[in-house]
Chain A
Protein backbone atom coordinates (compact mmCIF):
# COMPACT_ATOMS: atom_id res chain seq x y z
CA UNK A 1 0.00 0.00 0.00
CA UNK A 2 2.79 2.42 0.90
CA UNK A 3 5.18 1.41 -1.87
CA UNK A 4 4.07 4.20 -4.23
CA UNK A 5 4.15 6.73 -1.36
CA UNK A 6 7.69 5.78 -0.37
CA UNK A 7 8.89 5.49 -3.97
CA UNK A 8 7.63 8.98 -4.84
CA UNK A 9 8.95 10.50 -1.61
CA UNK A 10 12.38 8.97 -2.04
CA UNK A 11 12.59 9.91 -5.71
CA UNK A 12 11.49 13.51 -5.21
CA UNK A 13 13.96 13.99 -2.38
CA UNK A 14 16.70 12.46 -4.53
CA UNK A 15 15.73 14.76 -7.41
CA UNK A 16 15.78 17.77 -5.09
CA UNK A 17 19.27 16.76 -3.99
CA UNK A 18 20.51 16.31 -7.57
CA UNK A 19 18.93 19.62 -8.59
CA UNK A 20 19.77 21.41 -5.34
CA UNK A 21 20.39 24.69 -7.15
CA UNK A 22 16.59 25.06 -7.44
CA UNK A 23 16.17 24.62 -3.70
CA UNK A 24 18.91 27.14 -2.98
CA UNK A 25 17.33 29.66 -5.36
CA UNK A 26 14.06 29.49 -3.40
CA UNK A 27 15.90 30.03 -0.16
CA UNK A 28 17.97 32.87 -1.61
CA UNK A 29 14.77 34.49 -2.85
CA UNK A 30 13.32 34.33 0.66
CA UNK A 31 16.44 35.90 2.16
CA UNK A 32 16.65 38.65 -0.46
CA UNK A 33 12.99 39.64 -0.23
CA UNK A 34 13.32 40.04 3.56
CA UNK A 35 16.56 41.98 3.15
CA UNK A 36 14.89 44.41 0.74
CA UNK A 37 12.56 45.75 3.42
CA UNK A 38 15.14 47.63 5.49
CA UNK A 39 16.22 49.31 2.25
CA UNK A 40 12.65 50.15 1.32
CA UNK A 41 11.23 51.38 4.60
CA UNK A 42 14.44 52.66 6.16
CA UNK A 43 16.57 51.23 8.93
CA UNK A 44 14.35 52.45 11.75
CA UNK A 45 14.58 49.65 14.32
CA UNK A 46 11.17 50.19 15.88
CA UNK A 47 9.41 50.13 12.54
CA UNK A 48 11.29 47.02 11.38
CA UNK A 49 10.52 45.28 14.65
CA UNK A 50 6.82 46.04 14.18
CA UNK A 51 6.58 44.80 10.61
CA UNK A 52 8.94 41.81 11.07
CA UNK A 53 6.26 39.10 11.52
CA UNK A 54 4.33 40.24 8.46
CA UNK A 55 7.44 40.64 6.33
CA UNK A 56 8.74 37.19 7.21
CA UNK A 57 5.41 35.59 6.55
CA UNK A 58 4.79 37.35 3.23
CA UNK A 59 8.31 36.46 2.08
CA UNK A 60 7.82 32.81 3.08
CA UNK A 61 4.53 32.77 1.19
CA UNK A 62 6.11 34.23 -1.95
CA UNK A 63 9.03 31.81 -1.78
CA UNK A 64 6.57 28.93 -1.62
CA UNK A 65 4.57 30.36 -4.53
CA UNK A 66 7.72 30.83 -6.60
CA UNK A 67 8.56 27.13 -6.55
CA UNK A 68 5.02 25.74 -6.77
CA UNK A 69 4.99 25.48 -10.57
CA UNK A 70 7.88 22.98 -10.32
CA UNK A 71 5.76 20.55 -8.34
CA UNK A 72 4.19 18.67 -11.25
CA UNK A 73 5.59 20.36 -14.38
CA UNK A 74 8.55 18.04 -14.91
CA UNK A 75 6.54 14.86 -14.32
CA UNK A 76 3.82 16.14 -16.61
CA UNK A 77 6.30 16.85 -19.38
CA UNK A 78 8.12 13.53 -19.35
CA UNK A 79 5.09 11.26 -18.95
CA UNK A 80 5.77 10.21 -15.34
CA UNK A 81 2.48 11.74 -14.23
CA UNK A 82 0.51 9.50 -16.60
CA UNK A 83 2.28 6.47 -15.19
CA UNK A 84 1.50 7.59 -11.64
CA UNK A 85 -2.16 8.09 -12.53
CA UNK A 86 -2.21 4.53 -13.88
CA UNK A 87 -0.78 3.17 -10.65
CA UNK A 88 -2.92 0.58 -8.97
CA UNK A 89 -2.33 2.42 -5.70
CA UNK A 90 -4.56 5.35 -4.67
CA UNK A 91 -3.51 8.66 -6.21
CA UNK A 92 -4.08 10.41 -2.87
CA UNK A 93 -1.08 8.63 -1.38
CA UNK A 94 1.51 9.60 -3.94
CA UNK A 95 0.10 13.12 -4.24
CA UNK A 96 0.63 13.45 -0.49
CA UNK A 97 4.17 12.12 -0.92
CA UNK A 98 4.92 14.69 -3.61
CA UNK A 99 3.60 17.54 -1.47
CA UNK A 100 5.54 16.25 1.54
CA UNK A 101 8.76 16.10 -0.48
CA UNK A 102 8.02 19.60 -1.80
CA UNK A 103 7.52 20.94 1.72
CA UNK A 104 10.67 19.24 3.01
CA UNK A 105 12.73 20.85 0.25
CA UNK A 106 11.16 24.34 0.18
CA UNK A 107 9.08 24.90 3.30
CA UNK A 108 11.42 23.40 5.86
CA UNK A 109 14.52 25.40 4.78
CA UNK A 110 12.41 28.57 4.97
CA UNK A 111 11.27 27.64 8.49
CA UNK A 112 14.90 27.01 9.46
CA UNK A 113 16.23 30.29 8.09
CA UNK A 114 13.37 32.49 9.33
CA UNK A 115 14.78 33.03 12.89
CA UNK A 116 18.05 34.31 11.45
CA UNK A 117 16.16 36.81 9.32
CA UNK A 118 14.10 37.64 12.38
CA UNK A 119 17.32 38.77 14.05
CA UNK A 120 18.06 40.93 11.03
CA UNK A 121 14.74 42.73 11.58
CA UNK A 122 15.36 42.82 15.35
CA UNK A 123 12.37 40.67 16.19
CA UNK A 124 11.94 40.40 19.94
CA UNK A 125 13.50 37.40 21.67
CA UNK A 126 10.29 35.88 22.97
CA UNK A 127 8.67 35.69 19.56
CA UNK A 128 11.09 33.23 17.95
CA UNK A 129 9.44 29.98 19.11
CA UNK A 130 6.04 31.21 17.95
CA UNK A 131 7.49 32.37 14.62
CA UNK A 132 9.01 28.95 13.98
CA UNK A 133 5.91 27.04 15.10
CA UNK A 134 3.57 29.23 13.05
CA UNK A 135 5.72 28.79 9.95
CA UNK A 136 6.06 25.06 10.57
CA UNK A 137 2.27 24.74 10.76
CA UNK A 138 1.49 27.27 8.04
CA UNK A 139 3.91 26.44 5.23
CA UNK A 140 2.55 22.87 4.83
CA UNK A 141 -0.92 24.43 4.36
CA UNK A 142 0.55 26.69 1.67
CA UNK A 143 2.12 23.65 -0.01
CA UNK A 144 -1.12 21.65 0.11
CA UNK A 145 -3.34 24.46 -1.19
CA UNK A 146 -0.72 25.42 -3.74
CA UNK A 147 -0.52 21.84 -5.00
CA UNK A 148 -4.21 21.96 -5.92
CA UNK A 149 -3.61 25.18 -7.84
CA UNK A 150 -0.51 23.74 -9.52
CA UNK A 151 -2.49 20.67 -10.57
CA UNK A 152 -5.33 22.79 -11.98
CA UNK A 153 -3.03 25.04 -14.02
CA UNK A 154 -0.80 22.21 -15.25
CA UNK A 155 0.06 22.47 -18.92
CA UNK A 156 -1.70 25.80 -19.42
CA UNK A 157 -0.02 28.64 -21.24
CA UNK A 158 0.88 31.34 -18.75
CA UNK A 159 0.08 28.87 -16.00
CA UNK A 160 2.49 30.55 -13.59
CA UNK A 161 0.57 33.82 -13.37
CA UNK A 162 -2.75 32.02 -13.27
CA UNK A 163 -1.44 29.85 -10.45
CA UNK A 164 -0.54 32.97 -8.45
CA UNK A 165 -3.97 34.49 -9.05
CA UNK A 166 -5.64 31.26 -8.07
CA UNK A 167 -3.82 30.45 -4.85
CA UNK A 168 -2.87 33.84 -3.38
CA UNK A 169 -6.42 34.57 -2.18
CA UNK A 170 -6.48 31.12 -0.57
CA UNK A 171 -3.22 31.93 1.22
CA UNK A 172 -4.72 35.00 2.91
CA UNK A 173 -6.23 33.21 5.96
CA UNK A 174 -2.94 31.37 6.53
CA UNK A 175 -1.11 34.68 6.39
CA UNK A 176 -3.54 36.33 8.80
CA UNK A 177 -3.24 33.62 11.42
CA UNK A 178 0.46 33.00 10.87
CA UNK A 179 1.62 36.58 11.15
CA UNK A 180 -1.14 37.19 13.70
CA UNK A 181 0.27 34.49 15.96
CA UNK A 182 3.63 36.25 16.20
CA UNK A 183 2.01 39.64 16.74
CA UNK A 184 -0.31 38.24 19.42
CA UNK A 185 2.70 36.79 21.22
CA UNK A 186 4.45 40.15 21.05
CA UNK A 187 1.42 42.05 22.32
CA UNK A 188 1.14 39.68 25.26
CA UNK A 189 -2.26 38.13 24.50
CA UNK A 190 -0.67 34.76 23.70
CA UNK A 191 -0.51 32.94 20.39
CA UNK A 192 -2.32 29.75 21.41
CA UNK A 193 -5.58 30.54 19.62
CA UNK A 194 -3.81 31.45 16.38
CA UNK A 195 -1.61 28.37 16.48
CA UNK A 196 -4.58 26.10 17.19
CA UNK A 197 -6.40 27.59 14.21
CA UNK A 198 -3.34 27.04 12.03
CA UNK A 199 -3.13 23.45 13.27
CA UNK A 200 -6.80 22.94 12.47
CA UNK A 201 -6.23 24.43 9.04
CA UNK A 202 -3.34 22.05 8.48
CA UNK A 203 -5.44 19.05 9.50
CA UNK A 204 -8.23 20.16 7.19
CA UNK A 205 -5.90 20.81 4.25
CA UNK A 206 -4.17 17.48 4.80
CA UNK A 207 -7.48 15.70 4.74
CA UNK A 208 -8.98 17.43 1.70
CA UNK A 209 -6.27 18.90 -0.52
CA UNK A 210 -4.72 15.58 -1.72
CA UNK A 211 -8.12 14.44 -2.97
CA UNK A 212 -8.76 17.71 -4.78
CA UNK A 213 -5.22 17.62 -6.15
CA UNK A 214 -5.57 14.06 -7.47
CA UNK A 215 -8.88 14.92 -9.13
CA UNK A 216 -7.37 18.05 -10.67
CA UNK A 217 -4.42 16.06 -12.01
CA UNK A 218 -6.78 13.62 -13.72
CA UNK A 219 -8.58 16.52 -15.38
CA UNK A 220 -5.34 18.27 -16.40
CA UNK A 221 -3.79 15.21 -18.03
CA UNK A 222 -6.92 14.27 -19.93
Chain B
Protein backbone atom coordinates (compact mmCIF):
# COMPACT_ATOMS: atom_id res chain seq x y z
CA UNK B 1 0.00 0.00 0.00
CA UNK B 2 2.54 2.55 1.15
CA UNK B 3 5.90 1.88 -0.41
CA UNK B 4 9.12 3.76 -0.74
CA UNK B 5 12.38 2.77 -2.30
CA UNK B 6 15.86 4.20 -2.51
CA UNK B 7 14.92 7.27 -0.46
CA UNK B 8 17.63 9.81 0.25
CA UNK B 9 17.06 12.87 2.37
CA UNK B 10 19.12 16.02 2.19
CA UNK B 11 18.91 18.45 5.08
CA UNK B 12 20.74 21.68 4.40
CA UNK B 13 23.88 20.39 2.69
CA UNK B 14 24.07 17.19 4.72
CA UNK B 15 22.78 13.86 3.48
CA UNK B 16 20.85 12.32 6.39
CA UNK B 17 20.20 8.87 4.95
CA UNK B 18 20.14 7.12 1.62
CA UNK B 19 18.95 3.89 0.09
CA UNK B 20 16.05 3.65 2.51
CA UNK B 21 13.17 1.42 1.52
CA UNK B 22 9.95 0.70 3.36
CA UNK B 23 6.71 -1.09 2.79
CA UNK B 24 3.55 -0.78 4.84
CA UNK B 25 0.61 -3.09 4.14
CA UNK B 26 -2.96 -2.79 5.34
CA UNK B 27 -3.00 -3.64 9.04
CA UNK B 28 0.68 -2.81 9.41
CA UNK B 29 2.19 -0.92 12.33
CA UNK B 30 5.62 0.49 11.57
CA UNK B 31 7.81 2.07 14.18
CA UNK B 32 10.57 4.30 12.85
CA UNK B 33 13.52 4.04 15.22
CA UNK B 34 16.95 5.57 15.52
CA UNK B 35 18.89 8.04 17.63
CA UNK B 36 18.14 11.79 17.69
CA UNK B 37 18.97 13.67 14.53
CA UNK B 38 19.14 10.60 12.31
CA UNK B 39 16.20 11.78 10.22
CA UNK B 40 13.07 10.12 11.62
CA UNK B 41 10.91 13.22 11.37
CA UNK B 42 12.40 13.97 7.96
CA UNK B 43 11.42 10.49 6.81
CA UNK B 44 7.84 11.03 8.00
CA UNK B 45 7.71 14.33 6.14
CA UNK B 46 8.95 12.61 2.97
CA UNK B 47 6.25 9.97 3.33
CA UNK B 48 3.52 12.59 3.77
CA UNK B 49 4.72 14.62 0.78
CA UNK B 50 5.50 17.70 2.88
CA UNK B 51 9.10 17.37 1.75
CA UNK B 52 10.54 15.87 -1.40
CA UNK B 53 13.23 13.19 -1.36
CA UNK B 54 16.60 13.82 -2.97
CA UNK B 55 16.34 10.49 -4.77
CA UNK B 56 13.80 7.71 -4.81
CA UNK B 57 10.04 7.77 -4.68
CA UNK B 58 7.17 7.29 -2.26
CA UNK B 59 4.20 5.42 -3.67
CA UNK B 60 0.69 5.29 -2.30
CA UNK B 61 -1.49 2.52 -3.71
CA UNK B 62 1.03 2.06 -6.49
CA UNK B 63 1.08 5.68 -7.66
CA UNK B 64 3.95 8.05 -6.95
CA UNK B 65 2.81 10.76 -4.54
CA UNK B 66 4.46 13.47 -6.60
CA UNK B 67 2.10 12.60 -9.40
CA UNK B 68 -1.05 12.43 -7.30
CA UNK B 69 -0.57 14.13 -3.96
CA UNK B 70 -4.30 14.55 -3.39
CA UNK B 71 -4.91 10.80 -3.47
CA UNK B 72 -2.56 10.37 -0.52
CA UNK B 73 -3.81 13.40 1.36
CA UNK B 74 -7.40 12.23 1.20
CA UNK B 75 -6.42 9.10 3.11
CA UNK B 76 -3.67 10.43 5.34
CA UNK B 77 -3.75 11.71 8.89
CA UNK B 78 -0.44 13.28 9.90
CA UNK B 79 0.19 14.58 13.40
CA UNK B 80 3.51 16.35 13.48
CA UNK B 81 5.78 17.35 16.30
CA UNK B 82 3.98 20.67 16.75
CA UNK B 83 0.40 20.05 17.88
CA UNK B 84 -1.11 22.62 15.44
CA UNK B 85 -2.99 24.46 18.17
CA UNK B 86 -3.67 28.16 18.18
CA UNK B 87 -3.32 29.60 21.68
CA UNK B 88 -6.24 32.00 21.26
CA UNK B 89 -8.74 29.28 20.36
CA UNK B 90 -10.31 26.70 22.66
CA UNK B 91 -9.56 22.99 22.19
CA UNK B 92 -13.01 22.57 20.65
CA UNK B 93 -12.46 25.39 18.13
CA UNK B 94 -9.00 24.06 17.32
CA UNK B 95 -10.29 20.55 16.75
CA UNK B 96 -13.23 21.65 14.62
CA UNK B 97 -10.93 23.78 12.52
CA UNK B 98 -8.40 20.98 12.12
CA UNK B 99 -11.11 18.63 10.85
CA UNK B 100 -12.72 21.16 8.54
CA UNK B 101 -9.36 22.25 7.13
CA UNK B 102 -8.42 18.66 6.42
CA UNK B 103 -11.71 18.16 4.60
CA UNK B 104 -13.35 15.94 7.22
CA UNK B 105 -16.94 16.51 8.18
CA UNK B 106 -17.04 16.72 11.96
CA UNK B 107 -19.96 18.41 13.69
CA UNK B 108 -19.66 20.02 17.07
CA UNK B 109 -21.15 17.05 18.92
CA UNK B 110 -18.67 14.52 17.55
CA UNK B 111 -15.78 16.88 18.38
CA UNK B 112 -17.04 17.24 21.96
CA UNK B 113 -17.32 13.45 22.21
CA UNK B 114 -13.79 12.98 20.87
CA UNK B 115 -12.37 15.51 23.33
CA UNK B 116 -14.27 13.91 26.22
CA UNK B 117 -12.97 10.51 25.18
CA UNK B 118 -9.40 11.75 25.35
CA UNK B 119 -9.96 13.27 28.78
CA UNK B 120 -10.50 16.97 28.06
CA UNK B 121 -14.18 17.34 28.88
CA UNK B 122 -13.42 20.03 31.48
CA UNK B 123 -11.14 22.04 29.20
CA UNK B 124 -13.50 22.49 26.25
CA UNK B 125 -13.91 26.22 26.73
CA UNK B 126 -10.46 27.19 27.95
CA UNK B 127 -8.06 28.92 25.58
CA UNK B 128 -5.37 26.50 24.46
CA UNK B 129 -2.59 28.62 25.96
CA UNK B 130 -3.53 27.54 29.50
CA UNK B 131 -3.32 23.83 28.67
CA UNK B 132 -0.37 21.70 29.77
CA UNK B 133 1.93 20.03 27.23
CA UNK B 134 0.16 16.71 27.69
CA UNK B 135 -3.26 18.29 27.25
CA UNK B 136 -2.13 20.09 24.11
CA UNK B 137 -0.89 16.80 22.74
CA UNK B 138 -4.26 15.24 23.53
CA UNK B 139 -6.18 17.85 21.54
CA UNK B 140 -4.15 16.85 18.49
CA UNK B 141 -4.69 13.17 19.17
CA UNK B 142 -8.46 13.66 19.43
CA UNK B 143 -8.41 13.83 15.65
CA UNK B 144 -7.64 10.10 15.61
CA UNK B 145 -11.20 9.42 16.72
CA UNK B 146 -12.68 11.69 14.06
CA UNK B 147 -10.50 10.57 11.18
CA UNK B 148 -10.75 6.81 11.64
CA UNK B 149 -11.88 6.50 8.04
CA UNK B 150 -8.47 7.73 6.89
CA UNK B 151 -6.46 4.52 6.61
CA UNK B 152 -2.91 5.88 6.90
CA UNK B 153 -1.88 7.48 10.17
CA UNK B 154 1.59 9.02 10.32
CA UNK B 155 2.40 10.15 13.85
CA UNK B 156 5.52 11.95 14.99
CA UNK B 157 6.27 11.18 18.66
CA UNK B 158 2.60 10.74 19.63
CA UNK B 159 3.46 9.51 23.15
CA UNK B 160 5.50 12.55 24.19
CA UNK B 161 4.18 14.31 27.31
CA UNK B 162 1.35 11.81 27.83
CA UNK B 163 0.81 10.11 31.19
CA UNK B 164 1.00 6.30 31.55
CA UNK B 165 -2.75 5.74 31.28
CA UNK B 166 -2.99 7.87 28.14
CA UNK B 167 -0.02 6.04 26.58
CA UNK B 168 -1.76 2.70 27.13
CA UNK B 169 -5.02 4.03 25.73
CA UNK B 170 -3.34 5.50 22.67
CA UNK B 171 -1.51 2.23 22.04
CA UNK B 172 -4.85 0.43 22.13
CA UNK B 173 -6.38 2.96 19.72
CA UNK B 174 -3.49 2.48 17.30
CA UNK B 175 -3.66 -1.32 17.55
CA UNK B 176 -7.42 -1.20 16.94
CA UNK B 177 -6.90 0.96 13.87
CA UNK B 178 -4.45 -1.59 12.48
CA UNK B 179 -6.79 -4.46 13.27
CA UNK B 180 -9.50 -2.65 11.31
CA UNK B 181 -7.24 -2.67 8.26
CA UNK B 182 -5.57 0.73 8.81
CA UNK B 183 -1.89 1.53 8.71
CA UNK B 184 0.15 3.33 11.33
CA UNK B 185 3.65 4.70 10.94
CA UNK B 186 5.09 6.40 14.01
CA UNK B 187 8.27 7.48 15.70
CA UNK B 188 8.74 7.02 19.42
CA UNK B 189 11.49 6.49 21.95
CA UNK B 190 9.10 4.88 24.40
CA UNK B 191 8.18 1.22 24.70
CA UNK B 192 4.46 1.49 24.17
CA UNK B 193 2.27 -1.45 25.13
CA UNK B 194 1.03 -2.43 21.68
CA UNK B 195 -1.15 -5.53 21.37
CA UNK B 196 1.39 -6.97 18.96
CA UNK B 197 4.95 -5.89 18.42
CA UNK B 198 5.33 -3.30 15.64
CA UNK B 199 7.72 -3.73 12.76
CA UNK B 200 10.78 -1.62 13.33
CA UNK B 201 12.56 0.45 10.72
CA UNK B 202 15.93 1.63 11.98
CA UNK B 203 16.82 4.80 10.08
CA UNK B 204 20.28 4.63 11.68
CA UNK B 205 21.05 1.68 9.41
CA UNK B 206 20.81 3.93 6.35
CA UNK B 207 22.65 6.91 7.80
CA UNK B 208 25.42 8.47 5.77
Contacts and interface: CB of A to CB of B under 8 A. Distances in A.
Contacts of B49: 86
Interface string B58-81: 000000000000100110101011
Chain A at the B interface: SS class: helix
Chain A interface size range: 20 to 34
Contacts of B97: 7-8, 11
A14 B52 CA distance: 34
A79 B97 CA distance: 13
Nearest to A76: B82
B88 interface: yes
A15 B87 CA distance: 10
A87 interface: yes
A88 B84 contact: no
Interface stretch (B30-38, B98-106, B177-185): B98-106
Given A4-B100, A4-B103, A7-B101, A15 B89 contact: yes
A221 B50 contact: yes
B119 interface: no
A116 B116 CA distance: 51
A177 interface: no
B101 A82 contact: no
B175 interface: no
Interface string A100-122: 00000000000000000000000
Given A3-B103, A88-B73, A89-B103, A82 B89 contact: no
Interface residues of B, number: 30
A80 interface: yes
Interface in A150-191: none
B83 A79 contact: yes
A5 to B, nearest CB: 10
Contacts of B78: 82-83, 86
Contacts of A85: 50
B133 interface: no
Given A7-B97, A8-B97, A11-B93, 7 more contacts: A4-B102, A7-B100, A79-B84, A80-B84, A88-B102, A222-B51, A222-B52
5 contacts: A11-B97, A15-B88, A78-B84, A78-B85, A80-B101
